[in-house]
Amino acid sequence: MTSTVKVQITVNGQPTSADVEPRLLLAHYVRDVVGIKATNIGCDTTSCGACTVLLDGESVKSCTVLAVQADQQEVTTMEGLSPSPDELHPVAAAFRQEHGLQCGFCTPGMVMATVSLLAENPHPTEREVRENLEGNLCRCTGYHNIVRAVLAAAEAQGGDS
């Protein structure tokens, strides 16, 4: 008999609650329990960063956080960044404008890592951007346009990279 634990997690501003197995990963909670799909699962080993979300404002790889560890906390996914379904968050808009994506699989994780970076460092240098995104892999691009997108987002938000 498998035991479950009740968790209450605010996801993108909406309270959620579920009985989950103690070993359920936050990535699977967000995708399978809550039904939010932009948080991609690429590796389950923290290697790729496709599952990056904000947990109480800090970027985390949700494939290494248990849902029970996020109990009573707030999770923000890419879907939760936009003010409305018709309006992109400035970071997502910069990724589109600068062609910082190809297949799009890594994009939600890259955007979430960027949002976290710019919250901590609104004026990153190119080197700081590259260092910050080291834990997020893109198998399609050469990162050049991704870095340009991050710097454009910083500039749009008032940074002076």
Q: Classify residue 31: in a domain, yes or no.
A: yes
Query: Is 149 within 8 Å of 97 (Cβ atoms)?
Result: yes
1 has pLDDT over 80:
no
Indicate the pLDDT class of residue 159, thresholds 50, 70 and 90: low
CATH code of the domain in which 138 resides: 1.10.150.120
Question: Rounded distance, CA 85 to CA 125, Å?
Answer: 31
57 has pLDDT over 90:
yes
Nearest to 61 by CA among 72, 71, 70, 51: 51
- 74 three-state secondary structure: strand
Q: Which residues on neighbouring strands pair with residue 25, listed in sequence order?
A: 66
Q: Classify residue 44: in a domain, yes or no.
A: yes
Question: Rounded distance, CA 62 to CA 42, Å?
Answer: 11
Domain that holds residue 152: 90-156
Of the residues 28, 51, 79, which one is the last residue of a structural domain? 79
For residues 103-130, average pLDDT: 96
Q: pLDDT tens digits for 61-106?
A: 999 999 999 999 999 999 999 988 899 999 999 999 999 999 999 9
Tell me, yes or no, whether 38 and 70 share the same domain: yes
CATH code of the domain in which 73 resides: 3.10.20.30
Residue 7: predicted pLDDT: 98
